[in-house]
Amino acid sequence: MIVKAKVVKLGNNVDTDVILPGKYLALTDPEELKTHATEGISPGFASKFAEGAIVVAGENFGQGSSREHAPIALKAAGVRCVVADSFARIFYRNAINIGLPALECPGVSTHVVDGDQLSVDVERGEIRNLRTGETLTSEAIPPNLIQVLNDGGIIEHLRKKRVRR
């Protein structure tokens, strides 16, 4: 799985209330959620994702409440992958569960700028900055979670496993 897109860069300690403000938790339709993605940073910020984006963030991305709505809103808004120096544990797993690749790569936020083009080989953990030519290596995503991503998320993965039996 290779993802290529423009970088939308965020900072350190971006919490789920910034990714998707709590007042939208009653919404369940991803099409509605996407219009509010990153609204906590600034209204209209999610329009940067419209043509597809890779979010690059600093440390502790997705901290705060364990709302699954946050990665759903990002994915629905056009985020194809999130690469961060580090993740809050629950955000990381929620992202994988909904089929949004999340790669932890310490220091990545110091190697890219907003608007760079990246090519991310999710299975190999290689992040190539197409502007600079630099390649970074992320922490490996375990094979069982790669399969969840390849299947489109945990629900589809479980459906496919059930059919195979």
Structural domains of the chain, ranges and CATH numbers in brackets = 2-164 (3.20.19.10)
Alpha carbon 64 to chain centroid distance? 16
CA gap 14, 58 in Å, rounded? 8
Angle at 155 between CA 124 and CA 16, to 5 degrees: 75
CA gap 6, 49 in Å, rounded? 9
Model confidence pLDDT, tens digit, residues 28-64: 999 999 999 998 887 778 888 888 999 999 999 999 9
Residue 164 reports pLDDT greater than 70: no
| Residue range 161-165: mean pLDDT, rounded | 73
For residue 136, the cross-strand partners are: 127
**pTM of the predicted model, to two decimals?**
0.93
Residue 165 reports pLDDT greater than 80: no
